[in-house]
Amino acid sequence: MMRWLQSGPAVARGAPATAAANEQSCRGMALALRRILKQGARPEVLDLGQFSRSAAIYLASRGARVCVEDFAPPPPTPRLKPGAKSIAKPVISIPQPDGKFDLVLAWEHVDFVPPDRLGDFAAELSRVMLPGGWLILFAEDRPGTKGSRPDRPACYRLTADDRIVRSPTTGPERPRWAHPNRAIERALSPLTVQSIQLQRNRIREFLVHKREKPS
């Protein structure tokens, strides 16, 4: 059955009954929205979620100008062949100008970025963020596990500023890593991780801030 992702009150209140059980709080998102929406100006939001268009519509209905981009995480860097002097790494690129966005929603992309590319991914996110801007990341929490496993990114839907519904998607599977907190924080530097919230479905929500430039 076709499901329309409607703007306005339908998104804020109209969660299907089955989704109510999957609804959970997202305090980091609520805090970021409170900060950017209170400024009075119309905040710029970048939504990198291929499956999270309804979140984009929700945020647009809250007064933000939402830019939607499909982002494909890079494959792992190939090993250096014997005799070769260099390796061509796939470029991680978000086709948006520097310092444009008050809020960047990267959803679960970080889990699909290989460990050796986390720094490049974080640098690209930081590049498009406005000084003083915010970043939201979601990452699976699987302590003690090593390596990747095939999985699909989830679909996220905002039902309120502090309520979110995560649901599975279909499509091709990709390798998924469970990066430890320390690895993500290190990759995001010099961005500041303000909070990490562990949700009841073992998903961590990272709220990240980019410092204002000293005047």
Binding site for other proteins (CB under 8 A): 2-8, 42, 53-54, 56-57, 60-61, 63-70
- Cβ-based nearer residue to other proteins, 43 or 73: 43
**Cβ contacts of 209 within 8 Å, gap of 6 or more:** 132, 133, 134, 135, 191, 192, 194
CB of 39 to other proteins, least distance (A): 13
- Cβ-based nearer residue to other proteins, 30 or 68: 68
- Cβ-based nearer residue to other proteins, 159 or 179: 159
- Cβ-based nearer residue to other proteins, 27 or 42: 42
CB of 6 to other proteins, least distance (A): 5
CB of 74 to other proteins, least distance (A): 19
Tokens representing 91 are 């470029």
CB of 50 to other proteins, least distance (A): 10
- Cβ-based nearer residue to other proteins, 9 or 150: 9
**Cβ contacts of 194 within 8 Å, gap of 6 or more:** 28, 31, 207, 208, 209
CB of 35 to other proteins, least distance (A): 17
Please give the sequence-ordered ranges of beta strands (E in DSSP) within 74-172, or none if there are none. Answer: 101-107, 129-140, 149-151, 155-160, 163-167
The candidate with the shortest Cα–Cα distance to 33, out of 118, 133, 120, is 133
